[in-house]
Amino acid sequence: MTQRGPAHPHVAVVDGPLGRLVLVASERGLVAVERAGPDDDAVPTPSPPPWLDDACAQVSAYLRGEVDSIAAPVDLSYVPRFDAAVYRAVRRIPYGCVASYGDVARAVGAPRAARAVGTALARCPLGIVVPCHRVVRSDGSVAGAPADVRTREHLLELEARHAPARGRRLS
């Protein structure tokens, strides 16, 4: 795992258009969604929490454009408090919509913290479940490393195909 997490995590694997994803969970919720490397042989753990199979199904269905949200529980106890507030705000951005880093900063009560929002999102361990791809620059462009930009654009295009344009809104 790339971040602090449970001592004995539960692991599940989802294959899809983004490659193999590894879902890492505590008893309370997902703590990470990571891309498996080419040599990563993640093996699902025995006796996972009862909700983990449903979380895998939701992630798969989202990536196929069949559902517009992933309602799996998340365990944010392993991330800094500000980051957790950012992730909760980002989960409220509707499917098919985007918000700017400044919009998210205002939503968490820190209107001058757009850069801190960007930093929190850059280290988010729960991509897709926390739809970081819906947060864009104020000019509407997608930020990040080239591989990240391609993934974000892919997810935004997926959502655009399956949702009517609803504009920018963060409630």
Among 56, 97, 124, 132, the one annotated catalytic: 132
Non-local (6+) Cβ contacts of 44 within 8 A are: 11, 12, 13
CA 9/CA 16 separation, integer angstroms: 22
Q: How many residues does the chain have?
A: 171
Pairing of strands 30-35, 19-25: antiparallel
The kind and range of the H/E element at 25 are strand 19-25
The yes-or-no answer on residue 132 being catalytic is yes
Q: Which residue has 């602090």 as its token pair?
A: 4
CA 134/CA 130 separation, integer angstroms: 9
The residues carrying an active-site annotation are 132
